[in-house]
Amino acid sequence: MTYLANALRTTLLCSLLGLLHGCTSPAPTSSDTAPPSQPAPTPDAPPAAPAIAPAHQRELSGSLLGIPARAQVELALLAIDPKGRPYSLLAHVQLPASGDSLAFQLPFDAERFALHHRVELRGRAHLDGRLILRLPPQPIPHAENRQLGSLRLVPAP
């Protein structure tokens, strides 16, 4: 009986080791398997259409100039009170600068925009935890897609 139990254990152990070895063997090479057939791309295929934004979605875009490499830039679309203070954040984006002009796109909700009388785009740049530049407030009078062109940040006070 003991001989049979030992033989069963040995057989089970060898089977388990064989299974483990099979799981760890390298993946088959391309010569081992047939390459998957993929349809050839057609040269005259139309380019992919850009994603369709919701009807209430608008966007401000442009580029920022004069930002040193490694700086972090924050842009915010803010509702401004009669005393010139921001009181509601409508949109926000953070961008890493590379030293060249920095393109930006800031999507916002036109329905939320319409609830406020005065809206401005404001921005700032930080380098190594210090505020180094700021974007003079840019008034945004209407909730529409708008290309702002090139905007230059100025030294922060």
Q: Residue 66 belongs to a domain with what CATH number?
A: 2.60.40.2990
Tell me: the pLDDT tens digits for 100-152?
Answer: 899 999 999 999 988 889 999 999 999 999 999 999 999 999 999 999 999 99
- The answer to whether the CB of 70 falls within 8 A of the CB of 127 is yes
- The answer to whether the CB of 108 falls within 8 A of the CB of 90 is yes
13 is a domain residue: no
50 is a domain residue: no
117 is a domain residue: yes
4 is a domain residue: no
Q: Classify burial at 55, counting beta carbons within 10 Å of its beta carbon; exposed 0-12, middle 13-18, buried 19 or more.
A: exposed
112 is a domain residue: yes
User: Global pTM?
Assistant: 0.64
Count of domains forming the chain: 1
- The answer to whether the CB of 126 falls within 8 A of the CB of 67 is no
99 is a domain residue: yes
The domain in which residue 114 lies consists of: 57-155
CA angle 37, 43, 49 (to 5 degrees): 100
122 is a domain residue: yes
Q: What confidence category does residue 157 fall into, taking pLDDT thresholds of 50, 70 and 90?
A: confident
Size of the chain, expressed as the number of residues it contains: 157
- The answer to whether the CB of 107 falls within 8 A of the CB of 58 is yes
